[in-house]
Structure 1
Amino acid sequence: MNKEVIIEKINDFLIDEFEVESDDISPEANLKETLELDSLDFVDLVVAVESNFGVKLVGEDFVNVKSLNDFYSLIESKLG
């Protein structure tokens, strides 16, 4: 799966499941602030990634994830 497909799938579930406005989604956007994530939302995000991509994420995976682009790259590396 190439990065463009990964980005499209992630953006789709952010809009559908997290009710993020499409205008707020950009590679530079801060993941936590854009999604207004609390600890329960992170659980939902992990479940969404697992169901959409078949990969498991743990808390440590998010240590260096600040922007949506970091998140896209994390998923790409897990799939690679």
Structure 2
Amino acid sequence: MSDAEILARIREIFKENFDIDPSRVTPEAHLFAELDLDSIDAVDLAIKLQEMTGRRIKPEEFKSVRTVGDVIAAVQSLLATQA
């Protein structure tokens, strides 16, 4: 899955679950400062990413995620472990 495909899926998740306009979801966007996610939203996002990838996200790996670009990288990492 390419970064562009992952970004498109992430935009869908943000629109459906957090009512965030997809145009605001860019790789540079900060999850907490710009997109107004809180810690509960971060847990929800991790669950959605697990559903998307079929892989469990380790909490310590997700703690370093700050931007949408970090989320894309985390998804790529999860997908790479499937291969």
How many residues get paired? 80
Does 2:37 correspond to 1:40? no
Would you tell me which structure has more helix in proportion to its own residues? Answer: 1
- CA shift at 1:2, angstroms? 2.1
RMSD value, Cα: 1.6
TM score, norm. by length of structure 2: 0.80
Identity of aligned residues (%): 29
Which structure ranks higher in relative contact order (CA pairs < 8 Å, sequence separation ≥ 6)? 1
CA distance in 2, matches of 1:62, 1:74: 8
TM score, norm. by length of structure 1: 0.82
Which consecutive unaligned segments of at least 5 residues does structure 1 have?
none
1:20-42 deviations in whole A, cap 9, x for unaligned? 11231111110122332222212
Checking the alignment, whether the CA contact within 8 Å between 1:29 and 1:67 is kept in structure 2 is: yes
Letter in 2 for 1:47: I
Which consecutive unaligned segments of at least 5 residues does structure 2 have?
none
1:29-75 deviations in whole A, cap 9, x for unaligned? 10122332222212211211111221211321123322111110111
Correspondence 1:1-80 to 2 at 5 A: 1-80=1-80
